[in-house]
Amino acid sequence: MSGSAIWHPFTQHGLGEPIPLVDRAEGAALFTADGRRIVDAISSWWVTTHGHAHPRIAAAVADQARKLDQIIFAGWTHEPAETLAAGLRAIMPPALTRVFFSDSGSTSVEVALKMALGYWLDRGERRHRILVLEHGYHGDTIGAMSVGARGVFNRAYSPLLFEVESIPFPVAGREQATLDALDRACRGGAAAFIVEPLLLGAGGMLIYSPATLAEMRRICAHHDVLFIADEVMTAWGRTGTLLACEQAGIVPDILCLSKGLTGGAVPLAVTMATEPIYAAHYGTDRARMFFHSSSYTANPVACAAANANLAIWREEPVLDRITDLARRQADRLAALETLPTVANARRIGTITAVEIDDGEGYLSDLAPRLTAVFRQHDVLLRPLGNTVYVMPPYCIDDDDLDLIYDSIAEAVAAISPVA
């Protein structure tokens, strides 16, 4: 907006790109102040699962706001948090017995890393090395950046980042190199290995197999290295199952959840841990307590939204909707990949991605050129460099899916060199 004082995230204001004012949202669409209807093809940065302004979630938020809006959570509790913790215990793997609340995906990762380091310290072992997967992304706070890929987006902050050991991404056909590297790194007594299960999101929508994920988990367990699954983006059905880890038949020692936890309505995150990790911090010595919190930990309104989301998962055929959306996207992706400048078409669950072979890297000039075409077609897509991905809400209909994939095809044609 002209004259706005807002400094937007991941935005170079000097380019003068338009920033629409959104008035309201419903289902898979955003509605702007100037009367446009925009199809939200990326679930507003991967958070909106059931659709915008979902009636059950909105009603739960409004009802809770009238009763209890905020309360300190250190030494106090409330019903929405207790209900949510019990609900998560009921649908998540039984070994994940403890639920720690925070505010975002980044903070859920910070919590996970601190839990892992505290676990080893309280056991009397000085393990502090963290292993990470190449091209990973876990957030933009200091710890989360430290365990993510290094590049232009965090170069200015490198003096603040701690060192980690990177394991090569398991490229199809060369997975053994990844497994061998992980095995060598684990032998050195690492504290933890953190991964995005099956799909690396901001790293380029890179997919690897459930069998590889299962073997990475086995290696960590063999060497007694904690396994942290960052399912902030991959959970809540995005990869086709409630958790991506399910497809590999594994349970992590620590699990990070956010984004779809509330259906995308309001910010909330949890870090779930196994009983040994909780027990390492448990005792009568106050110096061994887990030192992490924020003012809004387990905010009652956010917890109410999450409880409504869990009720939707329990009472509605969410997985059927996900399966149907995956099928409908697969049909459209097949048509898209026939275009001459489209490469590496891929899908996992409700997420599809392609590479446009006219640029590379996150700062590729191709991305803003593509985005300009998408805007003209009233579609919200945000390419990762030359990677165009689609991750819509589960409620999206065929007409909106056609608009998304048609806009991608037209954008590719618009930027392709004339023969």
Instruction: Report residue 291's pLDDT band, with 50, 70 and 90 as the boundaries.
Output: confident
Which of residues 288, 315, 342 is at a domain's end?
A: 315
Distance, CA of 150 to CA of 141 (rounded, Å): 13
Whether the CB-CB separation of 330 and 348 falls below 8 Å is answered with: no
Which of residues 277, 298, 315 is at a domain's end?
A: 315
170 within some domain: yes
Q: What is the 3-state secondary structure (H, E, C) of 323-337?
A: HHHHHHHHHHHHHHC
Distance, CA of 335 to CA of 377 (rounded, Å): 19
Mean pLDDT of 366-378: 91
Nearest one of 185, 218, 201 to 256, comparing CA atoms: 201
Ramachandran assignment for 51, one of left (phi > 0), alpha (psi -120 to 50 degrees), beta (any other): left
Report residue 402: phi and psi, to 5°: -60, -40
Query: Domain of 337: which CATH number?
Result: 3.90.1150.10
Q: DSSP per residue over 149-163, as a string?
A: --STTTGGGGGGPPP
More confident residue, 160 or 349: 349
| Domain identity same for 217 and 349 | no
| Domain identity same for 281 and 341 | no
| Domain identity same for 276 and 326 | no
| Domain identity same for 23 and 73 | no
Which of residues 259, 287, 315 is at a domain's end?
A: 315
Q: Which helix (H) or strand (E) holds 50?
A: none
Instruction: Report residue 358's pLDDT band, with 50, 70 and 90 as the boundaries.
Output: low
| Domain identity same for 323 and 270 | no
| Domain identity same for 133 and 275 | yes
| Domain identity same for 326 and 285 | no
Half-sphere exposure of 85 (CA within 13 A, CB side): 18
Compute the Cα dihedral for 199, 312, 112, 106 and give only its sign. positive
| Domain identity same for 331 and 243 | no
Mean pLDDT taken over the chain:
94
Radius of gyration of the chain (CA): 22
Query: Domain of 102: which CATH number?
Result: 3.40.640.10
Tokens of residue 332, six digits? 């459209």
Instruction: Report residue 287's pLDDT band, with 50, 70 and 90 as the boundaries.
Output: confident
Over pLDDT 70: what percentage of the chain? 97
What is the model's pLDDT at position 265?
Answer: 97
What is the model's pLDDT at position 368?
Answer: 87
| Domain identity same for 47 and 125 | no
| Domain identity same for 218 and 330 | no
pLDDT in tens, 10-29: 898 998 889 999 999 999 99
Distance, CA of 52 to CA of 393 (rounded, Å): 8
| Domain identity same for 330 and 393 | yes
Q: Is the pLDDT of residue 35 over 80?
A: yes
Over pLDDT 90: what percentage of the chain? 86
What is the model's pLDDT at position 111?
Answer: 98
Distance, CA of 130 to CA of 107 (rounded, Å): 17
More confident residue, 68 or 364: 68
82 within some domain: yes
Instruction: Report residue 362's pLDDT band, with 50, 70 and 90 as the boundaries.
Output: low
| Domain identity same for 24 and 167 | no
What is the model's pLDDT at position 419?
Answer: 40
293 within some domain: yes
What does the buried/exposed string (b/e) look like for 103-125 if buried means 16 or more CB atoms within 10 Å of the residue's CB? bbbbbbbbbbbbbbbbbbbbeee
Instruction: Report residue 177's pLDDT band, with 50, 70 and 90 as the boundaries.
Output: very high
Query: What domain range includes position 322?
Result: 13-53+317-415
246 within some domain: yes
Number of domains in the chain: 2
For 30, 45, 53, 227, the CA distances from 390, given in Å and listed in that order, are 16, 11, 20, 29
Distance, CA of 327 to CA of 333 (rounded, Å): 10
2 within some domain: no
pTM: 0.95
Locate tokens 């594994």: which residue?
Answer: 250
Mean pLDDT of 75-104: 98
